[in-house]
Chain A
Amino acid sequence: MASSKDVLSPTTPHSPSRPELFKKLEARVSRRSVLRGAAGASALAVSALWSREALAQGQIGASRRRDPVLMLVNRLTYGQNEAELALARSKGYWTYLQEALYPPAPIDDSAMESFIAPASPYVDSIPADYPPHGTLGLGASRIVLGQTLLNREILTKRQAYEKIVECWLDHFNKSITKDGVDVSLARSNREVLRPHADGHFETLLEATMQDPSMLIYLDNHLNRAPKVNENYARELLELHTLSPVDRSGGAPGYDENDVRSLAEILSGWSVNTNYDASNPASFGSFLYVSNFHVTGDKPFLNGTILNGGQSEGAAAARAMVDHQSTAYFVAYKLARYFLSYDPPQGVLDAAAQQFMSTTPRGDIRAMIGIILQRNNIIDLASPGGGGLKLRRPKDFLVALARATSPSMDPNLYGLHSVARKMGNEAYGWGEPDGYPDQEESWVGAIFGRWEAAFSFFADPTTSQEGIEGISFSDAELQGLIGSQSTLADVAERINVILTGGVMTNYEVGVLEAFMQSASQVVSNPLQVVRDGLALGACTPTFQYF
């Protein structure tokens, strides 16, 4: 390993007169662009290189940003890193996509599993040890659960599967902030969501309809004859299946009468809340209470669900997944999550057709395979192609960790707390619609990312501002950056580490200019690199994927 002196020459700090180095920035950037042979040698043209609008309008020719393999990796993982990108390049687009969705052999994820093992008493034994609920109490289990999800997302080798899980965590959102959900969520994830996440939507839907955590979250465990509670039935139609907008262009598929009927169909679908020490597993399990069920035939979605007690639920589920609005809504949600904010209608048509073509309905991996066809990725940057997506705050943190591989302490929960501070705590969204998946909701608080980035790379030996459980020693940092001869090379190295090398020339020039200036006033050259990495994480390019 190279010593830090290969990277930067320490200089004596002197009183600040640094901005003159920025004056040279434009000239430097201009030179870089010429050296790289990028289009547009003037500083202005360079500064326009990274422009989502320009990209979407197809104004930029062979931008590296459009590398389909890199874009695919960023869609099937929580963020590229050098190893993943090299793997994808060696396999090629189609093979990488195929193997991400259908691994040719079981994936050994034991490293991740053992890393999260310290959390397992809280994650895996709830609610078996409820009421004692461990020794930490509810607040602590919330922290452990949240951090455990982050750790999974950073470390799992089943990245595509974990992305699918998150898509459904949002689609079938349950908030850990609600009493009863907090203690049932871990079991629900383990027994309901994760086993069905990459199977068929119909199967997943039926499982969620008997998910105690969901029934508690949307009050259906209390839904009983004669005065039904509409809460779950409404969201089941609006958020989980048909949605109010038919995305094939048809009329809305349901009305208030369907909400009412579905509430009656699901009356008596409850949860066992009697704790029996001799049979602790029965506590918190699904329970159908026939006495609480509204009897009689129910009109539903242009048909009738015949009086049949608990079996009415399966018939209603069938009616919902057979509805075109559901096929299109699920196609839209998957395409929006995996491809772009505004997926082309042709992509929705193809994915919805795939949804309808199987029994049970909605082969999730087959739909994602259609959505992520190579042409769709290439078209992203074309007019009407949908454009790039802004990383949500949690995903910003996870992508940063994946790109840089800090030392992580399995017993500390700082990253969770930062995600929470940024408004994106795992399981923390209160409403049933899941965290917003749109740029404009999150972009207004960009400052929080800057704070997080500088904390992320703080020197654990000198700073009190770091993130608990995340650290880079000087040696680790040196290993990450490698041996570079100039600050320009360090800046380019940061670009490769964080983005796979697709920052604009201007951004890389800013990193280099900053490090030149900072090295005049900071005695520790690796501190300059830390700040350079943080500024790299702050670049507009790193915010998008």
Chain B
Amino acid sequence: MRTKQQHTPAEALDAGDGQAPLRRNTRRALLTAAGLVAAPVALTKLSLAGTRGAGSGTRTLVTVFLRGAMDGLSLCAPVADSTYQATRGPNERIPLPSFNNGVKWLEPGTWALSAGGGGFFDAYNDSNLAFVQGCGVPHGVRSHFDAQFAYETMNPDALALPQDDGAVARLLKSIAGSSNLRACSISELMPRMLLDAPKGLAIPDPTDYDLPGDPLTLNLRKQALHEEYSNTSEPLRSIGVDSLGVIDLLAGVNFDSATLPSYPSSSFGQKMHSLAQLILDGFGLQAAQVDYGGWDDHTAAGPLDGKLHLRLQDLSQSINAFYQELKSKNAGDRYTLLIVSEFGRRVAFNGNGGMDHGSGNTMIVMGEGVNGNQVFTENWTGLANHIDLQGDLLMDFDARDVWAEVMVKHLGLAVGDVPTVFPGYTYNPRNVVS
């Protein structure tokens, strides 16, 4: 069985102590005992079985969106830079690497990886992970919500040019795919990046995706749902029909895997574990997103040992477990993973040990085929030269350069279709991936 995630007190009350709302632990056993799992009843009108697709060669574009604006300068830091050292106090900046502080050089003398981000080091060292610094979709706004909108639609002028479907959804409309589940948000909500994706669903927990109720009537109920939804209008029609198809598809995925290092028991760690199994199954998933919220550190950030450090640790260790599992199963070329945030945070701390909203930020690109073991910048000449009038890191490396290059080289997007996915943008690959 998969490792159960550690519960917060509230979750513990939800899930245990006789308080479980959906007492469903015996359902699988019942189904199996009744012989219905292995022998689905043939349906005359239609097949509800999911198309598994010819997906073994499919590459999955994985987006991890850090909502709230992660402080990139607490992850990939110019530790030796005099402006960085002068602007951030001893407890606010990442120190120079030493034998016992967990900080490691990425580019000796310039960039270093914080202790919290330490989980990224193995993939970086394998040349399968790169950092891009001073990065973002150049929207120029300091509002989380406008910036996320601009980022996820890949449209810097989102307010003037309202195109509200997601950029990754547009990618999927531009390339072929045969699976019943081409895009999956491991969440209760569809993030804008995937809004309107063909064969796209929001699935909070892929390991728990079956209908409660009497197994004797299960197929009848599924067929009734199919009738209800195949006779209504979009978007409900496709989503309803696809959701039914995915029941069988996910039932065929083996979620029991044990690898080392193990995934953190956090919600994020468990989601990355589930996602790894979806990719390993090879049914043809082309895009996935895992949102990770809570990065809006206006107070008591604690980049060295506080909440920001712990969050970075959870993030990087979860990603490392994902990296190591796929690598060990020879599936390191089945995904390209991008970790992004709507913007960075101000270089100088505010009066509360936190940072207000900034601009340029760190982006992480991971997977085989990434030109890793390097930090990409826009002609880095020191922090003093890459800071704007408000005291924010410049957003001078256009994130679209990376996204478009990944989509073209790893997902099969035709260069001619780049303007469809990125309105008003001209393809400009930077050799971040091969």
Chain A interface (Cβ < 8 Å from any Cβ of B)? 13, 16, 18-20, 22-23, 25, 47, 50-54, 137-140, 142-143, 218-219, 222-231, 234, 238-239, 244-245, 256, 259, 393, 412-415, 417-418, 420-424, 430-431, 433, 436, 439-448, 450-451, 454-455, 458, 463-468, 504, 506-507, 510-511, 513-514, 517-518, 521-522, 527, 531, 534-535, 538-540, 543
Contact = CB atoms under 8 A, between A and B. Distances in A.
B299 interface: yes
A51 B91 CA distance: 59
B220 A18 contact: yes
Interface stretch (B325-333, B348-356, B369-377): B348-356
B415 interface: no
9 contacts: A227-B352, A231-B298, A259-B142, A417-B19, A417-B22, A447-B201, A454-B211, A467-B22, A506-B227
B298 to A, nearest CB: 4
B350 A22 contact: no
B232 A540 contact: yes
Contact of A440 (B45, B209, B233, B235): B235
Interface in B1-55: 8-14, 19-27, 41, 43-45
A238 B145 contact: yes
B383 to A, nearest CB: 20
A517 B217 CA distance: 9
Across the A-B interface, give the 8 residue pairs with the lowest CB-CB distance, nearest first. Answer: A423-B188, A139-B9, A227-B351, A139-B10, A444-B202, A417-B21, A414-B21, A444-B190
A431 to B, nearest CB: 7
A467 B221 contact: no
A445 B189 contact: yes
B311 interface: no
A47 B227 CA distance: 10
A468 B21 contact: yes
Given A513-B224, A514-B223, 4 more contacts: A19-B44, A442-B190, A506-B227, A540-B233
B253 interface: no
Contacts of A431: 67-68, 144-145, 293
Contacts of B233: 50-54, 540
B86 interface: no
Interface residues of B, dominant DSSP: loop
Listed residue (A446, A467, A535) with the most chain B CB atoms within 10 angstroms of its CB: A446
Interface in B235-292: 235-236, 239-240, 243, 246
B320 interface: no
Interface residues of A, dominant DSSP: helix
B350 A418 contact: no
Contacts of B209: 447
Contacts of A424: 188
Contacts of A441: 189-190, 195
B240 A446 contact: yes
Nearest to A510: B227
Contact of A458 (B195, B196, B212, B351): B212
B13 A447 contact: no
Interface in B316-348: none
Contact of A451 (B11, B194, B196, B212): B212
Interface in B128-163: 141-146, 159
Interface residues of B, number: 81
A19 B213 CA distance: 19
A15 B352 CA distance: 69
B221 A47 contact: no
B202 A464 contact: no
Contacts of B351: 222-229
B204 A423 contact: yes
A431 B66 CA distance: 12
Contacts of A443: 190, 235-236, 239
Contacts of B220: 18-19, 514, 517-518, 521
Contacts of B354: 219, 229
A138 B67 CA distance: 25
A446 B212 contact: no
A128 B45 CA distance: 63
Nearest to B222: A450
Nearest to B296: A231
B61 to A, nearest CB: 17
B387 to A, nearest CB: 16
A543 B232 CA distance: 12
Contact of A245 (B8, B26, B159): B159
Contacts of A140: 9-10, 13
Given A222-B299, A420-B14, A445 B20 contact: no
Contacts of A138: 9-10
Given A535-B221, A540-B228, A440 B190 contact: yes
A421 B24 CA distance: 14
A140 B7 CA distance: 13
Listed residue (A413, A422, A430, A540) with the most chain B CB atoms within 10 angstroms of its CB: A540
A52 B233 CA distance: 7
A309 to B, nearest CB: 19
A436 B204 contact: no
A451 B23 CA distance: 12
Contacts of A421: 21-22, 188, 204
Listed residue (A51, A238, A245, A440) with the most chain B CB atoms within 10 angstroms of its CB: A440
